[in-house]
Amino acid sequence: EQNHAAESDYKFERDSESITETLENEGKGSPVGYTGMTWSGFRPSDDACQYHYLVPSNMLAVSVLRGLEKLPLSENLKKRAAELADEIAGGIRKYAVAEGPSGKGMYAYETDGLGNFNLMDDANLPSLLGAPWYGFCETDDPLYQETRKFLLSPEIHTIFRENMQPESEVRIHRM
pLDDT digit string, tens, across residues 104-127: 999 999 999 999 999 999 988 999
pTM (two decimals): 0.87
pLDDT of residue 175: 33
> 22-40, pLDDT tens digit by residue?
899 999 999 999 999 999 9
pLDDT of residue 55: 98
pLDDT of residue 139: 96
Cα 147 from Cα 128, distance rounded (Å): 8
Does residue 49 come out as left (phi exceeding 0), alpha (psi in the -120 to 50 range) or beta? Answer: beta
- Residues of the chain whose pLDDT is less than 70? 157-175
